[in-house]
């Protein structure tokens, strides 16, 4: 018989350890186990260790944010430490499947009702649309996290989302770049200089620029984003993934770690150290914008859609991450 | 003196930042807290301002007729049932002659605006106090991540005791809360979904807990009042059921620790348009009350405080009590279900649901 395989639960606290208080450690040890996978070697006539995984025996919904960010076990077996991270990320992804069908759909319904039905009654016009990721998205990669690479998750529900501040920020950045292009063309300026002028005038609410991008004027931009003196006239809400969220493990692989560490030249004898992180793949997101001014709202929506489709949001946009397309 | 008092809940639908300005702490922009307990709160003045704004935002200017109108929707519909003429033009006697009241640009004001001035206090013109006052919004339930069941609502004996006293002020004395809460430390409702072998794991801490019938009753009572079972609140069925089961009464000290350390801290940056990376020095942290935090406040009404009887407009009543009652009615039926409180409105923060205690 080929591929004879068996799974053995490694005894907790001998092979892996959670770094939390004693009673929390005990509970975690009882619901998350480390499983050794052994295969029978026909030639040697004995069982040999082939792989290992983390598995949660319990079937209840856990908080993904706690599992991902706070309860991270360390393997105590020699040589396994480096493998630890992606093994654990697989568990996070598996656990995420549970909340996906339970909390996420009801939460999305509630957000929709709050913004589209109830908040709208305060004299706001609401615009909603959904776009899908053309590939992957990672937000909050650089935030502090025990495993080096993080991801922004909802504070209570632990599901990934795009913060309204990021959405507003990227729309604004995109607008500055496009208007600077126009200004550079018009006044025969260098692009760097044009960016500086546009962003300075936008910041100070200086309306002296007479620039247009399709139907959007520079004065519209000032109204949309606001200045220190006056609040912006458009609200950019957090965007949530539609029910079907796909999480994937990704890798970045800096080839000259000592060089990037800042103290050595990039030499061929340095070993690449793969760093694993979580991304969201091919998922649909629901965006909401609100304003009392319907005209400005449409303009902001167009800018945002353009930014999401052409520029992208989150980390690694220059590698095609965080770029959206029409559903 | 306040003649009529009503309690209402404030449910955070998005993270809430009732800011206290800068502080020399770890967080650059912390939230408001009670001086003596360190519990989060919303300052009454800020709350009142936001509610007034929500009322004022019901107006649109009809440019053709140079006259204000009310946005035609359910909120105003409710008001119109009680106060029929609120859309009529507001006339006042000046030098013995009756004249139409207008704003600076000559647009005609309507009785609705007069009622707002009487209720919240005038913004200009003859000074008098408003007829409606609010207390600081106090914390009732605070959501905390739970290893099992995603999150739990926590509260403590002190918070429940204050809540009971405030309900008493509003002359609502529920039998369900006539309990000595101090014996309920570390209890939760029966058949809860968050317990693992008689323990709960909240954030990284584990608490030994026991199920209690009394706590079940408290949870049911709160859930019924905060997420009432009406058609308009259909998506809340899930949260109503959750609150019935996943409430934990912690000790006063443990509760204080959580509201101090488990608020949402968001790191924000500013992107340098030229480099596309974080602008130097532009990295700051903001503190928020998480989504699903539940606070409450009291709305306290007195008779309208203007000298002339005719200036009372639609709120005019035969007795001071009746007038105060009308003031509260105006607030209750005219207040939108969802409004915005606190900082960072333009990035979608501070949407709260107002649920009046019934």
pLDDT of residue A12: 63
Report how far residue B228's alpha carbon sits from residue B240's, in angstroms, rounded to the nearest whole number.
8
Structure tokens at B275: 């480099």
Q: A156, B145: Cβ pair inside 8 Å?
A: yes
Question: A-B interface: how many C-beta pairs under 8 angstroms?
Answer: 159
Confidence grade of residue A107 (pLDDT, cut at 50, 70, 90): very high
Report how far residue B23's alpha carbon sits from residue A120's, in angstroms, rounded to the nearest whole number.
35
- Name beta bridge partners: A85: none
pLDDT more than 70, % of chain B: 97
Which range scores top for mean pLDDT: A82-91, A100-109, B184-193, B265-274? B184-193
Q: A176, B273: Cβ pair inside 8 Å?
A: yes
CA of A292, closest CA in chain B: separation in Å?
10
Identify whether the C-beta of residue A168 lies closer than 8 Å to the C-beta of residue A175: no
* CA nearest to A61 within chain B: B149
Structure tokens at B322: 């009746």
Structure tokens at A261: 């560490």
Which range scores top for mean pLDDT: A47-51, B212-216, B264-268? B212-216
Rounded to the nearest 5 degrees, what angle is found at the Cα of B226, between the Cα atoms of B334 and B46?
A: 55
Q: Per residue in B185-196, pLDDT tens?
A: 999 999 999 999
pLDDT reading at B57 higher than 80: yes
Task: Find the CB nearest A168 among B14, B201, B346.
Answer: B346
For chain B, what is the mean pLDDT?
Answer: 90
Tally the C-alpha atoms within 13 A of residue A208's C-alpha that lie toward its C-beta: 7
Beta strand ranges found along A95-199 (DSSP E): 125-133, 136-137
What is the DSSP secondary-structure string of B191-220? T-SS-BTTEEEETTEEEE-EE-HHHHHHHH
Q: From the DSSP assignment, how many helices (H) and strands (E) are in chain A? A: 8, 15
Nearest to B292 by CA among B216, B239, B355, B229: B239
Confidence grade of residue B1 (pLDDT, cut at 50, 70, 90): low
ipTM for the assembly: 0.92
Identify whether the C-beta of residue A183 lies closer than 8 Å to the C-beta of residue A319: no
pLDDT reading at A2 higher than 60: no
pLDDT reading at A259 higher than 80: no
A222 phi, psi to nearest 5 deg: -60, -40
Structure tokens at B57: 């935002």
Report how far residue B144's alpha carbon sits from residue B205's, in angstroms, rounded to the nearest whole number.
11
pLDDT reading at B118 higher than 80: yes
CA of A3, closest CA in chain B: separation in Å?
36
The answer to whether A228 contacts chain B (CB < 8 Å) is no
pLDDT of residue A78: 74
pLDDT of residue B162: 96
pLDDT reading at A91 higher than 70: yes
pLDDT of residue A225: 95
Nearest to A285 by CA among A235, A234, A325: A325
Q: Per residue in A210-221, pLDDT tens?
A: 889 889 999 999
Q: A196, B274: Cβ pair inside 8 Å?
A: yes
Q: Which residues of A touch B241 (CB under 8 A)?
A: none
The answer to whether A264 contacts chain B (CB < 8 Å) is no
pLDDT reading at A97 higher than 90: no
pLDDT reading at A268 higher than 80: no
Task: Find the CB nearest A143 among B267, B290, B292.
Answer: B267
Structure tokens at B29: 């922009």
What's the pTM?
0.93
Report how far residue A199's alpha carbon sits from residue B275's, in angstroms, rounded to the nearest whole number.
12
Q: Per residue in B249-279, pLDDT tens?
A: 999 999 999 999 999 998 888 878 887 777 7
Q: Per residue in A144-172, pLDDT tens?
A: 777 767 788 999 999 999 999 999 999 99
pLDDT reading at A298 higher than 80: yes
Confidence grade of residue B23 (pLDDT, cut at 50, 70, 90): low
Q: Which of residues 178-197 of B touch A (CB under 8 A)?
A: 193, 196-197
* CA nearest to B53 within chain A: A122
Report how far residue B169's alpha carbon sits from residue A91's, in angstroms, rounded to the nearest whole number.
51
Residue B279 per-residue DSSP state: E
The answer to whether A29 contacts chain B (CB < 8 Å) is no
Kind plus residue range of the DSSP H or E element containing B169: helix B157-169
* CA nearest to B55 within chain A: A122
Q: Per residue in B70-117, pLDDT tens?
A: 987 778 888 888 898 898 998 888 888 888 888 888 899 999 999 999
Report how far residue A256's alpha carbon sits from residue A261's, in angstroms, rounded to the nearest whole number.
9
pLDDT more than 90, % of chain A: 42
For chain A, what is the mean pLDDT?
Answer: 87
Report how far residue A194's alpha carbon sits from residue A203's, in angstroms, rounded to the nearest whole number.
14
CA of A235, closest CA in chain B: separation in Å?
4
Task: Find the CB nearest B149 among A61, A113, A121.
Answer: A61
Task: Find the CB nearest B273 among A122, A157, A173.
Answer: A173
Beta-carbon contacts of residue A278 (< 8 Å; ≥ 6 apart): A68, A89, A92, A93, A138, A149, A151, A247, A248, A249, A250
Q: B353, A192: Cβ pair inside 8 Å?
A: no
């Amino acid at each position: 018989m080929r591929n004879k395989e068996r799974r053995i639960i490694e005894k907790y606290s001998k092979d892996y350890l959670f770094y939390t208080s004693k009673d929390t450690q005990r509970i975690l040890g009882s619901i998350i186990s480390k499983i050794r996978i052994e295969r029978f070697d026909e030639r040697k006539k004995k069982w040999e260790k082939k792989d290992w995984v983390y598995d949660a025996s319990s079937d209840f919904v856990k908080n993904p944010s706690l599992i991902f960010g706070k309860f991270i076990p360390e393997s105590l077996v020699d040589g396994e430490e480096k493998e630890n991270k992606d093994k654990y990320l697989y568990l996070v992804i598996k656990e995420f499947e549970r909340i996906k069908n339970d909390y996420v759909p009801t939460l999305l319904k509630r957000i929709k009702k709050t913004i589209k039905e109830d908040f709208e009654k305060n004299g706001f016009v609401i615009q909603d649309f959904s776009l899908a990721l053309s590939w992957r998205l990672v937000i909050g990669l650089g935030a502090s996290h025990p495993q080096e690479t993080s991801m922004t998750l909802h504070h209570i529900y632990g599901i990934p989302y795009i913060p309204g501040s990021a959405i507003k920020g990227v729309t604004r950045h995109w607008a500055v770049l496009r208007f600077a292009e126009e200004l550079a063309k018009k006044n025969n300026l260098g692009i760097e200089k044009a960016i500086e002028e546009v962003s300075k005038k936008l910041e100070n609410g200086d309306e002296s620029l007479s620039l247009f991008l399709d139907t959007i004027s520079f004065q519209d931009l000032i109204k949309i984003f606001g200045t220190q003196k006056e609040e912006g006239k458009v609200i950019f809400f957090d965007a949530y993934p539609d029910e079907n969220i796909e999480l994937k493990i990704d890798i970045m692989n800096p080839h000259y770690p000592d060089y990037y560490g800042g103290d050595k030249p990039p030499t061929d004898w340095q070993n690449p150290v793969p760093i694993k992180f979580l991304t969201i793949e091919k998922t649909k997101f629901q965006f909401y914008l609100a304003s009392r001014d319907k005209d400005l709202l449409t303009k902001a929506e167009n800018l945002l859609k353009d930014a999401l489709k052409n520029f992208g949001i989150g980390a690694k946009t220059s590698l095609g991450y965080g770029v959206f397309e029409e559903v | 003196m306040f003649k009529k008092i009503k309690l209402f809940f404030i449910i955070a639908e998005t993270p809430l930042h009732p800011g206290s300005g800068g502080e020399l702490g770890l967080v650059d922009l912390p939230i408001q807290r009670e001086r003596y307990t360190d519990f989060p709160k919303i300052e009454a003045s800020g709350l009142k301002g936001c509610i007034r704004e929500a009322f004022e935002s019901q107006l649109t200017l009809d440019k053709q007729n140079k006259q204000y109108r009310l946005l035609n929707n359910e909120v105003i519909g409710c008001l119109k049932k009680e106060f029929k003429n609120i859309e009529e033009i507001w006339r006042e006697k000046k030098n013995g002659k009756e004249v139409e009241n207008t704003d600076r640009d000559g647009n005609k004001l309507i009785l609705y605006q007069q009622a707002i001035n009487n209720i919240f206090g005038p913004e200009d013109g003859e000074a008098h106090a408003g007829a409606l006052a609010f207390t600081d919004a106090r914390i009732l339930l605070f959501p905390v991540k739970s290893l099992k069941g995603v999150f739990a609502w926590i509260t403590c004996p002190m918070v429940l005791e204050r809540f009971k006293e405030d309900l008493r002020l509003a002359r609502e004395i529920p039998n369900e809360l006539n309990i000595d809460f101090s014996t309920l430390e570390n209890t939760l409702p029966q058949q809860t979904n968050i317990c693992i072998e008689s323990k709960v794991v909240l954030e990284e801490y584990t608490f030994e807990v026991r199920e209690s019938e009394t706590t079940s009753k408290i949870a049911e009572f709160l859930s019924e009042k905060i997420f009432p079972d009406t058609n308009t609140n259909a998506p809340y069925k899930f949260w109503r059921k959750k609150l019935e089961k996943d409430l934990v009464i912690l000790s006063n000290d443990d509760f204080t620790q959580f509201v101090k350390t488990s608020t949402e801290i968001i790191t924000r940056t500013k992107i340098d348009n030229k480099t596309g990376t974080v602008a130097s020095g532009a990295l700051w942290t903001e503190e928020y009350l998480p989504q699903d935090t539940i606070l409450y406040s009291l709305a306290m009404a007195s008779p309208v405080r203007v000298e002339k009887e005719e200036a009372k407009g639609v709120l005019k009543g035969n007795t001071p009590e009746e007038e105060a009652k009308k003031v509260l009615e105006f607030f209750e039926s005219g207040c939108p279900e969802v409004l915005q409180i606190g900082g960072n409105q333009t990035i979608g923060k501070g949407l709260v649901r107002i649920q009046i205690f019934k």
